[in-house]
Structure 1
Amino acid sequence: MKSASNALATAIAWSAACTCIAAQPPADAPTDARRYVKEGVVVEFEARPAADAAALMEDELAELRFSIREASTGRPMRGLAPGAWLDVAENLRNKDGAEQKSCKDKIALYLKGIVGIRPMADLNSYYVVVLNRDASLSIVDPKVSMVGRTSTLARVPLAGAGADLARSGDDRRIFVSMPAAGRVAAIEADTFKVAANVRAGPGATRLALQPDGRYLWVGNNAPAGERGSVTVIDADALKPLATIPVGRGHHEIALSSDSRWAFVSNRNDGTVTVIDVRTLAAVREIAVGGQPIALAYSALSRLLYVAEAQSGVLYAIHPDDFSTQARIALAPGLGPARFTPDGRWLLVLNTADDKVHVIDPSSNRVVHDIAVPGQPYQLAFTRAFAYVRSLGSERVSMINLASLGSGKQPTVQSFAAGARPPKAAGELAIADSIAPAAGDAGVLVVNPADNTTYFYMEGMNAAASNYQTQGAAARAVIVVDRSLREIEPGVYAARVRMPAAGKFDVAFSLDSPRMLHCFATQAAVNPRRAAARDGAQLEYLVESRRVDAGADVPIRFRIADATGREPRTGLADVRVMVVLAPGRRRGEVTASEVGDGVYEARAAFTEPGAYYVYVASATLRKGFGELPFLTLQAVDGKLAERDRR
């Protein structure tokens, strides 16, 4: 969020024209075409394949990198918030005697958050992923608004109702457990499409990703009285590797910071199963009695903490010899337990006693017992605050982490997230209803009782905005961050899947010094995709890539054989699909032959925005996406007419 707001200020404040140069220049271009210098700051752009490939290719991941340093010393400039966008190249090179405006103007439109006016990839954005009560996810772009409301970009259907959410460390994938289906949905975060429904086990519920990102662990809750299991999934290959029997009851999962050990609680057996990650085999069962309700591992003390709900005791267990290092008496009714992001404090909720216990893992002593009314039951963190959600209150409590410590008085504030308490919704999800927003200075809070997700920015007295998922009942939330990250000193990067073969603009923005500059890159034809297009050639016959918004526009194209010489005539089943990016609205029409292998369809471009045009034919055995697609920009009629002239 920080990078987006800074980029917005830069684009609006700066009215100078943008000079655009290619990142992969022709032979007569300057040798420093990837380098831009202004007011003592050097920006170097690079687009590289994210995988082992010789060049950027369509439908493959690319890493876009910006190295920012001082021109005089070469010192990396750290802690900046640059902005960047990738879009189809269009009229970016200056013409003699003509002012260059396309790059700057397009960015200004993106930053205004107008529905339909979106780049192909916004490297300053984050998306809100809402888990619904039915078998679906709602994807929301909080920057895009219509009549004051944020816009739902897409709906992702699932094979079953979801229970828990997790995401990969690089935000490439979202995982959703589906208990009734006994599977885990893996969703690609760049397309919001289900990549696989991976087999887990009956009652697949709790999810936990290893710190090293290699394995996804799934707790399978068996029917009452039966032993459960955990399934281990290769998070990259999306294949199940092992299903390991454990005990009875619901399972919570914790992993050691070195991904060496996995710990699985068995609530109805009063035990914790220890699993060797190297061999994927259970090696020990630790008896704690009662109901082990929460697990948390400390990277600092290298101890496993087990919260037992019935007795109210917190156990600290050493994973090397499985001995109990401390037995911390709290109070019956314990619930979730989590460490602060820096690992300094362990916070344990006590739902029955309306308290948050704060533990110092260096001494295993209770530092604070903080009163939080309304039955606290969920806990989330930003760098500065702990957020506590209560069953019986519409308010979210905020504990200032800087106020914790021996001899200090904890500072607690709260804000309203709706008008009704969560328990008014009835059955609640096991997944978190609070998630930190991108930029780590705010949170998204789902109130399932009023089907609304609220955004709260730290420092405000109330929620800054809210939105509803139309046609669905919101239960939980997670955030996918698409923004540039500082991966090494002064180097800011993001990954993006190249949407097509061809040339692309890469616009860059920085607030200090004020900088708005357009680089470019290109993606080669992917042989894998090209093979799928063999057997027919498709050529679009369009005069301009801009069309009138709100109009029915004829789309004409030529279909030929694989050689491109012989027209394919007489095709009666040619269909055209038009999709408003990024997949929010689509429509299909039938194309008619109007010439020798030339076909035409009239499609509606109902609102401004970027559109994808796809062609399919059963006779050619080509579905949508298997032939080349076309990108069009629906704009105000005057702009489109100017292009045609």
Structure 2
Amino acid sequence: MDRRKFGLVEHGGFLMSDPVNNPGPCPLWHRAWYLNRHSWLSALGGALIGAGVLAWAGSVSAIEKQEVQIELLTASKNKEIRAGEMLKIGFSIFDKIRRKPVSGLHPAAWIRPKTPGRKSCENAVRNYLALGPNASQDISLNGYTFVTLNRDNSIAVIDPRLNLATSNLLFLAQLRATPGDWRMSPNRKAIYITLPGKNRLLVFNPLTGQIDARVNVIVNPTTMAVFEGLSSVWVGSGSNGEIQGVDTRSHQIFRKIKVGRGKIYFAQDNVRAQLFAYASGSGQLIVLDAKRRKVVRRLQLEPHLADMDYSALTDKIYLAHPRKGYVLSLYPVNRPQVEKLMISGVSKRVNVSPDGRWLMASDGDQGQISLVETKTGNMTHVLRFKHPFDQIVFSKRYAYIRHTDTANISLIYTASLAPGAEPGVIEVPIGTKPPKAVGRLPPLPAIAPLPEGGGAVIANPADRTLYLYMESGMQAPMNAFKTWTAAPLSVMIHDRSLREARPGFYETVTMIPQPGIYEAVFFLPNPPLTRCFTLKVKGNSLPHSVRKKNTDQPTITILSPPFIAGRLVQLEFTIATPLLPPGKVRDISVLLFRPGSNWQLRTFAKSTGPRHYHFSVVFPSPGNYKMAVESAQLGLYLSQTNLKTIKVQDQ
């Protein structure tokens, strides 16, 4: 078999994209078990799905081979697997001879429809390793999706396994306002987004593409903090010095705390679940015990500091001073004595490395970073860059510097930062256009490190592209993922891989969109071990809020032809469905593209009456165009085959 016709070439034990003949996606995303994954597979802390406590129920199976016993356990809100609802799925691996769970494994698993005539379980594994999953049918339990916040105030979920015009965009939802901050919940089932202009907190479900809740919160919410194992999210105001706690199960505000005056800055100690909140207008700092939801200390500091971060190595917090040449440092709990760490110039941001050893006090407008060793408090290096930058993001080995007036990024090798040594800094082009070409850039992370380390996904809004950069000495991105949305301003990785929640038990959260009979395929590469388990999925294919009486898909009919190239037209269409959901359908989005070209349009359609919708478009040239429609309310998704052909005539 010639694998090049599938866009793949074999190299060094990995299957990679052929950049010449078929520049498709890198299959590393769904072959995570081949990677030398590190200890990032940490426990989920007994995460619960939805409201209330779940018991392991539903499908429980056990298959034994030699000395290994494997069990499949599933949990859902209704104690049965239903289409379109959250599902917690896990595999328990037990050594019968040694009589103990088997830890430290990196199993592969995916869910596939069980249909007559499909290949055996072993053949399914061979096909999966050679060609990857069938992205339109298989549900990977080892993969990632990319989530982007876009310039048109939308949020998109992208499947990196495919890099085609209609396939990689799974979901698109409108936020209706400009986001201020966003955070992934530790159990990976929700993304929290603040909307400062609306005084609102959104709860977005990355598995279904729906906004599950809209919570009215404090004035101008600009920052957030979440802790693993706690059912709460803390929101800080950008203007009135207040913070609020929101219960993530009931979506109700349970605590309001007045810190002081002005903008709130957060830092957090994840080990002790302590939140540090600083009010810049008045200089007050509080220490909050997030478990007990109680303030344990209040301190008075200098006002008008600009940023804050925490080092677990020194148990100190660090605050940037935008007007003077020092950074404030203190033990916030036991010994609240303030120290001044002298730096070069001023600092508008402070970033602490993941190991807590290095503090980067930066003035991005001047392109300068002062490096401070946290144990000694001494400045060891001053790095000056030719181009201004607006953010620093750490991976396990590097600090990524996003420049604003060039497409290049800078990387600092953190292992090279010993006192007296020359810091290792490289510059890598990420795209062709500088990010600031799109206008004002929000203070949101445009760089998302890979969960297992070794690289990052970087959003270049001017190119409207996500770039995959690998840290193994590459001088250019390894791959590029074109986004079929507005310019992506920020990116996040939704890691759906199996994690070892307790010794020998590996679990994740997923969703099966269609009812039917499925197989959960489990695979261990060394020693080779394959098992398949049957899953029965009930319900229907629509979201829980829409119940159809039959399985007919909505029918899309395009009206108002002919269409003339170069002219502004109102494209009208109807959607016929057996049962409309209550109220108006407000989430109709449209993707237009021309096969064989780079032209595309992503927009939202407006309602002109029951089942009638329209939007404005100028087709650049004559020819055949394709149109796809998405609506979570109607159960229409871009990953389904619902393309309509539009013929555009010459003038």
Partner of 1:235: 248
The separation in 2 between residues aligned to 1:152 and 1:70, in whole angstroms, is 41
Is 2:116 the partner of 1:91? Answer: yes
Contact 2:365–2:390, Cα closer than 8 Å, also in 1: no
Using the alignment, how far apart are the partners of 1:485 and 1:573 within structure 2? 40
1:72–1:4 Cα change, 3 Å? farther
Q: What's 1:19 paired with? A: none
Kindly provide the amino acid, as one letter, of the partner of residue 154 in structure 1. Answer: F
Q: What secondary structure sits across from 1:396 in the alignment?
A: strand
Distance across 2 between alignment mates of 1:573 and 1:143: 31
Q: What is the CA distance between 1:123 and its match in structure 2?
A: 0.8
Shift of 1:87: 3.1
Counterpart Cα distance in 1 of 2:58 and 2:400: 50
Report what 1:141 is aligned to: 159
How large is the RMSD of aligned CA atoms in angstroms?
Answer: 4.5
Residue of structure 1 in register with 2:402 after alignment: 389
- For the residues of structure 2 that align with 1:164 and 1:300, how far apart are their CA atoms? 27
**CA, structure 1 residues 122+41, in 2 after alignment: closer, same or farther (shift >3 Å)?**
farther
Give yes or no for the alignment of 1:118 onto 2:137. Answer: yes
Alignment of 1:337-416 (within 5 A): 337-416=350-429
Q: 2:70: which partner in 1?
A: 44
1:190 aligns with 2:207: yes
2:148 to 108, 124, 130: 130
Distance 2:412 2:481 in 1: 25
Identify the residue that residue 473 of structure 1 maps to in structure 2. 487
The range that moved more, 497-506 or 191-200, is: 497-506
- CA distance in 2 between partners of 1:216 and 1:530 (Å): 25
Letter in 2 for 1:89: K
What is the CA–CA distance in structure 2 between the aligned matches of 1:205 and 1:436, rounded to whole Å? Answer: 23
SS of 1:334's partner is: coil
**How many residues get paired?**
533
Contact 1:132/1:473 (CA < 8 Å) preserved in 2? yes
Query: Is the 2:29–2:144 Cα contact (8 Å) retained in structure 1?
Result: no
What letter corresponds to residue 154 of structure 2 in structure 1? S
**Structure 1: runs of 5 or more not aligned:** 10-23, 27-31, 94-99, 543-571, 578-582, 591-605, 615-622, 636-645
User: Could you list the per-position Cα deviations for residues 172-222 of structure 1 after superposition, in whole angstroms to 9, with x for gaps in the alignment?
Assistant: 111111111111111112212100011112322122223544322222223
Asked if the contact 2:348–2:362 (Cα under 8 Å) also holds between the matched residues in 1, the reply is: yes
Q: Larger C-alpha radius of gyration, 1 or 2?
A: 1
Question: TM-score, normalization: structure 2?
Answer: 0.70
SS of residue matched to 2:348: strand
CA distance in 2, matches of 1:41, 1:382: 39
Q: Is the 8 A contact 1:297 1:304 kept in 2?
A: yes
Equivalent residues of 1:331, 1:353 under 8 A apart: no
Shift of 1:410: 2.7
Rounded Cα–Cα distance in structure 1 between residues aligned with 2:282 and 2:58: 66
The equivalent residue for 1:435 is 448
Q: 1:540 to 1:284 in 2, by over 3 A?
A: closer
**What residue is the counterpart of 1:164 in the other structure?**
181
Q: Distance in 2 between matches of 1:276 and 1:74?
A: 40
In structure 2, the CA distance between the partners of 1:319 and 1:445, relative to structure 1 (3 Å rule), is same
Kindly indicate whether the alpha-carbon contact (under 8 Å) linking 1:150 and 1:467 is maintained by their aligned counterparts in 2: no
- CA deviations on 1:246-270 (whole Å, 9 max, x unpaired) are 4444332112335554323333445
Q: Note if contact 2:103-2:504 (Cα within 8 Å) is conserved in structure 1.
A: yes
Residue identity matched to 2:483: T
Please say if 1:284 is aligned against 2:302: no
2:458 and 2:468 in contact (8 A); partners too: yes
In 1, Cα distance between equivalents of 2:30 and 2:409:
26
After TM superposition, the structure 1 stretch with the greater mean CA deviation from structure 2, 277-286 or 345-354, is 277-286
Of all paired residues, the percent bearing the same amino acid is 24
Q: 1:110 to 1:118 in 2, by over 3 A?
A: farther
Q: Distance in 1 between matches of 2:421 and 2:102?
A: 36
- Tell me which residue corresponds to 1:560: none
- 1:295–1:306 contact (8 Å) kept in structure 2: yes
Describe the superposition over 1:577-621 as per-residue Cα deviations: whole angstroms up to 9, x where unpaired: 9xxxxx99999xx9xxxxxxxxxxxxxxx99x9x9999xxxxxxx
Alignment of 1:271-310 (within 5 A): 271-275=284-288, 277=290, 278=292, 284-289=298-303, 291-310=304-323
SS of match in other structure, 2:30: helix
User: Alpha-carbon deviation of 1:392?
Assistant: 3.3
Q: CA deviation at 1:461?
A: 2.0
Q: Which of these residues, 58, 63, 66, is aligned with residue 35 of structure 1?
A: 63
State whether residues 143 and 150 of structure 1, in contact with CA within 8 Å, keep that contact through their aligned partners in structure 2: no
1:309 is matched by which residue type in structure 2?
P
Letter paired with 2:89? L
The equivalent of 2:30 in structure 1 is: 4
State the 1:136 CA deviation. 0.7
> Residue 349 of structure 1 contacts residue 377 of structure 1 at CA under 8 Å; is this kept in 2?
no
What secondary structure is seen at the aligned counterpart in 2 of 1:252?
strand
CA distance in 1, matches of 2:475, 2:531: 37
1:180 maps to what in 2? Answer: 197
Q: CA deviation at 1:141?
A: 0.8
Q: Which consecutive residues of structure 2, in runs of 5 or more, have no partner in the other structure?
A: 1-26, 36-56, 554-575, 582-588, 593-604, 611-624, 643-651
Match of 2:237 in 1: 220
Structure 1 residues 356, 45: CA separation in 2 closer, same or farther (over 3 Å shift)?
farther
Equivalent position amino acid for 2:447 in 1: I
Does 2:77 match 1:63? no
Task: Decide whether aligned partners of structure 1 residues 321 and 484 sit closer, same or farther in structure 2, where only a CA change above 3 A counts.
Answer: closer
> Is the contact made by 2:32 and 2:142 (CA closer than 8 Å) also made in structure 1?
no
Residues 523 and 585 of structure 1: CA distance in aligned 2, closer, same or farther (over 3 Å): farther
Residue 165 and residue 413 in structure 1: after superposition, are their counterparts in 2 closer, same or farther (change >3 A)?
A: same
Contact persistence 1:45–1:64 (CA under 8 A)? no
Quick check: 1:6–1:511 contact (8 Å CA) kept in 2?
A: no
- Which stretch shows the higher mean deviation, 259-268 or 309-318? 259-268
Distance (whole Å) between structure 2 residues aligned to residue 263 and residue 530 of structure 1: 39
- SS in structure 1 of the partner of residue 437 of structure 2: helix
Structure 1 residue 230 displacement after superposition: 2.2
Alpha-carbon distance between aligned partners in 2 of 1:448 and 1:321, rounded to the nearest angstrom: 44
- With 348-357 and 130-139 compared, the bigger mean Cα shift is at 348-357
Using the TM superposition, name which of 303-312 and 467-476 deviates more.
467-476
**In structure 2, the residue corresponding to 1:456 is in which secondary structure?**
strand
In the TM superposition, what are the counterparts of 1:406-555 in structure 2 within 5 Å? 406-459=419-472, 460-499=474-513, 502-523=516-537
Aligned residues of 1:113 and 1:145 also touching (Cα < 8 A): no
3-state DSSP of counterpart to 1:145: coil
The separation in 2 between residues aligned to 1:79 and 1:214, in whole angstroms, is 28
Aligned partners of 2:387 and 2:403 also within 8 Å? yes
